[in-house]
Structure 1
Amino acid sequence: MEQGLTHIYTGTGKGKTTAAVGLGVRAYGQGLKVLMVQFLKGWDTGETKVIESFEPSFKLFRYKENDKFVWEMTEQEIGRLEKEMRIGLNYATEAVTSGNWDMIILDEIMAAVNYRYLPLAEVVELVKSKPLKLELVLTGRDAPAKLVELADYVSEINARKHPMAKGVTARAGIEY
């Protein structure tokens, strides 16, 4: 494999995780080994079921307990979530340096940083420590400038219109 690059999918629009999963499927289809670490997501989604069928060459690491949005959580649930995110970042850091993966996707890492559950400085160091051949993908709203500077690709997906504004809730197979 050639030199790996760093990608960011950010913005207010729907499709950041979908884009990252699509890139992961493309990589998997070319025989690359892909790891996806999800932060702030623990509910079952359509893509998780598909990714599980691709194991061990496309693996998903996520939280089993987190099935709520942050703004719906109690303080106790947020405390557990913070511990889980630390475990996730430690797992991702170990995976990045392991040499076992061709692509690693850090889904919703921006939200984990922006909610201050994970220190930006540690995520910056993780990106800087990326081995030359590793393709690294980060997703989430409001990508910090320091991460944008380090990235090779930055795609901003912005919502011009979203059905949630009309009260349409998330639908299986479309939003999750």
Structure 2
Amino acid sequence: MQQGLIHIYTGAGKGKTTAAVGLGIRAYGQGLKVLMVQFLKGWDTGERKVIATLEPCFQLFRYKENDKFVWNMTDEEKSGLEREMRIGLNYIVEAIMSEEWDMIIMDEIMAAVNYGYLPLEEVVEIVKNKPLKLELVLTGRDAPVKLIELADYVSEITARKHPMAKGIIAREGIEY
């Protein structure tokens, strides 16, 4: 049994989820079982369509369909997010306890913590107490120091240029 390590993809640049999905595809290609749980993402993405073709050994879980960023939501829409984030985190805890998965990707977990929808200490405890063989991948901007200290890999993706600065909106197949 090989030891599982902890990865963080963070930073303001584009590609954190893409890197995590790429790592998941690599693991899947070597016969590992991969679960990806997405927080604060609900729009139809290219990775979702591909991962669906890889089931049951690579699965993606989202609580609810949502096509808005947090900063574009009404107060009423935001109020339901904490409950949704809790469902996602509970799903991860159950998945970890099942010991069915070789890799679990917690996509945008940093945003769920940084927006205050999930307590940092709970996520820290999950990371600290993961099974020895489990590879754990966390993504999102502004990774908290407590999580960075626990990680074996930390990749910070920096944006030097981004088309949004020129008013180019997210494009299907590239940004989502």
Give the TM-score category using the shorter length: over 0.9
3-state DSSP of counterpart to 2:148: helix
Q: After alignment, is 59-68 or 22-31 more displaced? A: 59-68
Q: List aligned pairs for 1:136-151, cutoff 5 A.
A: 136-151=136-151
Counterpart of 2:163 in structure 1 is 163
Contact (CA 8 Å) 1:113, 1:119: kept in 2 or not?
yes
The residue aligned with 2:27 is 27
The amino acid of 1:26's aligned partner reads: R
Match of 2:100 in 1: 100
More displaced stretch, 64-73 vs 49-58: 64-73
Task: Measure the CA separation in 2 of the matches of 1:98 and 1:129.
Answer: 14
TM-score norm. by structure 2 comes to 0.98
State the match for 2:130 in structure 1.
Answer: 130
SS at structure 2 position matched to 1:36 = strand
List structure 1 runs of 4+ shifted beyond 6 angstroms: none
1:120 corresponds in structure 2 to: 120
Aligned to 1:50: 50
Amino acid aligned to 2:31? G
Q: Contact 1:102/1:133 (CA < 8 Å) preserved in 2?
A: yes
Unaligned ranges ≥5, structure 1: none
CA distance in 2, matches of 1:152, 1:120: 18
3-state SS, counterpart of residue 138 of structure 2: strand
- For the aligned residue pairs, the C-alpha RMSD in angstroms reads 0.7
Offset at residue 120 of structure 1 (A): 0.1
Structure 2 CA distance for aligned equivalents of residues 63 and 159 of structure 1: 29
What is the rounded CA distance, in whole Å, between the counterparts of 1:81 and 1:43 in structure 2?
Answer: 15
Identical counterparts, % of pairs: 81
SS at match of 1:161: coil
Q: Distance in 2 between matches of 1:69 and 1:169?
A: 13
Q: What residue in structure 1 maps to residue 66 of structure 2?
A: 66
| Aligned length, in residue pairs | 176
How far, CA to CA, are the matches of 1:96 and 1:77 in structure 2? 29
Give 1:91's aligned residue.
Answer: 91
Question: Structure 2: any 5+ residue segments left out of the alignment?
Answer: none
SS at match of 1:28: helix
